[in-house]
Amino acid sequence: MAARYNSRGESSGQGKSKPLGARDPMTARRIKLAMLLALVLLLIAALPRKAPAQAISSMNPEFLEQSADWPPAAEQLARKIVAITGAVPVSLQIENSSSISAEEFAEVQRLIVGRLRSAGAAPSAPAGAAYSARIVVSQNARAFVLAAVVNQSSGEPAAAIATAAPSAPQAAANAVTLARTFLLRQDAPILDAQFLTPATLVVLGADRITAYGRTPNGWQSIASAEIAAHHAMPRDLRGRLAVRADSFDAYLPGMVCSSASLAPLAIGCRDSDDPWPISLQSALYNSARNYFARGNGDFSEFLVKFYSAAFFWQSRTEPHVVFTTSEGVMRDGPSGALPVDAPGWGSEVALLYNASAAAGGCNGSHILATMAGDYTERDAVRAFEIHGQRAVAASDPVEFAGPVLALWSSPDMTAATVVSQNSKTGSYEAYRVTASCLL
């Protein structure tokens, strides 16, 4: 919001006030400067306001090349500024109100300073500058914008604007192949299925938890326990398994069921609003609304009211997050949540590592996402890379015989469980999806 200026006149010490409507030159200049600043703010009015979330600054060099073609824009802005100031020292204040990362913003600053210096308007400290320029990096629906308000102590403020076209989406840097392995099929709903050990599979249903053992003929039930719900469950039921070496927790809306062993399988259920595990962190689930109310940890300031989320890396040290909401696909940004151009995405996402990356192959992580559609259509999952605010396909889609109802990463993220409902038979089917490098 633009700052409000107090135009009240101060006492002159003689008790004599100025005539109504009279303005001194300084007040007039401030008003004109405020009007120019308002024009700059209008350019960024459609952007999300800055939130108190921490700055995210871990984009790799590939990401820096994705957002826009900055050199021509910096050159254009520098020429417009010099046309106003001439070849004299200029003090600079450069701000970022766009979606670009801290590293990319630093690169844009470097380009602007370099182009101004080449044009003859050397950046200077305020005390030694004839002009001052406040430059805002922003964006609208079609382009990035470099907007400058140029001010001189003895002259009128002026504006200079340049645009930088977004870079076109490019192919995925690390293509992968997805493999689908059938696990089991049953008439009752499946909410999640995770391996307790390589030979033991735990399946969470709407009213029962079942352990299966691997046999030459497939998975056979070895233990089962009923879920004693203490309250009514929502119609669109969701659930999540958190497995460990010899035990597990089952998260359901408003309750958690736990087991310490399989022989015999005994579970204890309690009412609970404990956060559910998602990817590498956790989130509070709103059982009345069928979405996660808020994420915990690094992204809690803007990871709110989302359906599904997956954490990923574009550098080796700091995570990022992409998540689905009623307003579309979003991701973290330098000052809050940002929209992601992800055409065709459904509501389910999961993080998926590929084991072959450890042997020196392709990038180790991708986002697995379902496809958009209704519950009468066949569905598919596909691997994607996130480049700035764009999702770039990194695999061919893997299809299923009906809508995908659940998509959850395994504990080590090297596989994902896909639960679909067969449109012809009505049965629920669980699959394991893995990725390998496409070399």
DSSP string, 254-285: TEEEEES-BTTB--EEEE--PPEEETTEEEEE
Closest C-alpha to 412, from 368, 365, 380: 365
In a domain, 267, yes or no: no
Q: Are residues 135 and 180 in the same domain?
A: no
- Does the pTM exceed 0.75? no
| pLDDT of amino acid 33 | 55
pLDDT level of residue 315 (50, 70, 90 thresholds)? low
- How confident is the model at residue 407, as a pLDDT? 97
Copy the structure tokens of residue 296: 């915990």
In a domain, 128, yes or no: yes
Are 330 and 406 a contacting pair, CB within 8 Å?
A: no
Residues 336-354, mean pLDDT to the nearest whole number: 91
Task: Give the confidence band of 2 by pLDDT, cuts at 50, 70, 90.
Answer: very low
What would the mean pLDDT of 41-47 be, rounded to a whole number? 46
Kindly state whether residue 363 falls inside one of the protein's structural domains: yes
Question: Between residues 5 and 328, which one has the greater pLDDT?
Answer: 328
More confident residue, 360 or 303: 303
Q: For residue 288, what are its two tokens? A: 């009345």
Do 190 and 333 share a domain, yes or no? Answer: yes
For residue 143, name the pLDDT band (cuts at 50, 70, 90).
confident
Range of the domain at 102: 25-164
Domain boundary among 164, 185, 213: 164
Position 149 confidence tier, pLDDT thresholds 50, 70, 90: very high
Separation between Cα atoms, residue 198 and residue 215, nearest integer Å: 12
Whether the Cβ atoms of residue 365 and residue 313 lie closer than 8 Å to each other? yes
Give the pLDDT band (50/70/90) at residue 360: low
Q: Return the DSSP state at 357.
A: G
pLDDT at 55: 27
What's the order of all strands across the beta sheet hosting 428-437?
A: 176-186, 428-437, 416-421, 404-409
Q: Is residue 161 exposed (0-12), middle (13-18) or buried (19+ Cβ within 10 Å)?
A: middle
Average pLDDT value for the chain: 81
- Is-cis flag, bond preceding 264, omega within 30? yes
Express each pLDDT in 404-427 by its tens digit. 999 999 999 999 999 999 999 999
pLDDT digits (tens, 9 = 90+) for 163-205: 887 766 567 777 899 999 999 999 999 999 999 999 999 999 9
Quick one: tokens of 15?
């008790």
Q: How many domains does the chain have?
A: 2
- Residue 11: the pLDDT is 38
Task: Show Cβ contacts of residue 195 under 8 Å, excluding neighbours closer than 6 positions.
Answer: 201, 202, 243, 410
pLDDT: which is higher, 181 or 377: 181
One domain for residues 145 and 181: no
Residue 115 and residue 184 in one domain:
no
The Cα 24–Cα 154 span in angstroms is 13
> What is the C-alpha to C-alpha distance for residues 401 and 403, in angstroms, rounded to an integer?
7
- CA-based torsion, 360, 362, 367, 371: positive or negative: negative
Query: How many CB atoms within 10 Å of residue 222?
Result: 16
pLDDT band of residue 21 (cuts 50, 70, 90) is: very low
At a CB cut-off of 8 Å and minimum separation 6, what does 243 contact? 194, 195, 196, 202, 411
In the chain, the percentage of residues whose pLDDT exceeds 90 is 49
- Same-domain status, 431 and 329: yes
Flag whether 223 is in a domain. no
- pLDDT tens digit string along 7-19? 333 333 434 334 4
Same-domain status, 186 and 117: no
- For the cut 70, the answer to whether the pLDDT of residue 48 exceeds it is no
Are 115 and 75 contacting, i.e. CB atoms less than 8 angstroms apart? yes
Q: Could you tell me the pLDDT band of residue 332, with boundaries at 50, 70 and 90?
A: confident
- Do 141 and 284 belong together in one domain? no
Contacts of residue 429, defined as CB under 8 A and 6 or more positions apart, other chains included, come to: 182, 183, 184, 185, 190, 400, 401, 419, 420, 421, 422
Q: Does 86 lie in the same domain as 186?
A: no
Question: Is 1's pLDDT higher than 50?
Answer: no
Asked whether residue 400 falls in the same domain as residue 422, the answer is yes
Place 317 in a pLDDT band, splitting at 50, 70 and 90.
Answer: low
57-66 residue pLDDT tens: 233 333 334 4
Q: Is the dihedral of CA 336, 339, 342, 345 positive or negative?
A: positive
Per-residue pLDDT tens over the stretch 224-271: 999 988 888 988 899 999 998 778 999 999 999 999 777 788 899 999
pLDDT above 90 (res 348): yes
* 11-32 mean pLDDT: 47
On whether residue 74 sits in a domain, the answer given is: yes
Instruction: Mark whether 96 and 191 lie in a shared domain.
Output: no
CB < 8 Å & 24+ apart, contacts of 357-363: 357/437, 361/436, 361/437, 361/439, 362/174, 362/175, 362/176, 362/437, 362/438, 362/439, 363/173, 363/174
36 with 140, same domain: the answer is yes
Give residue-wise pLDDT tens across range 79-99: 999 999 999 999 999 999 887
pLDDT mean over 311-320 = 72
Is 70 in the same domain as 160? yes
CATH number at 136 reads 3.40.50
Q: Tell whether 214 is covered by a domain.
A: no
Contact between 138 and 47 (Cβ < 8 Å) = yes
Which pLDDT score, from 0 to 100, does residue 320 have? Answer: 87
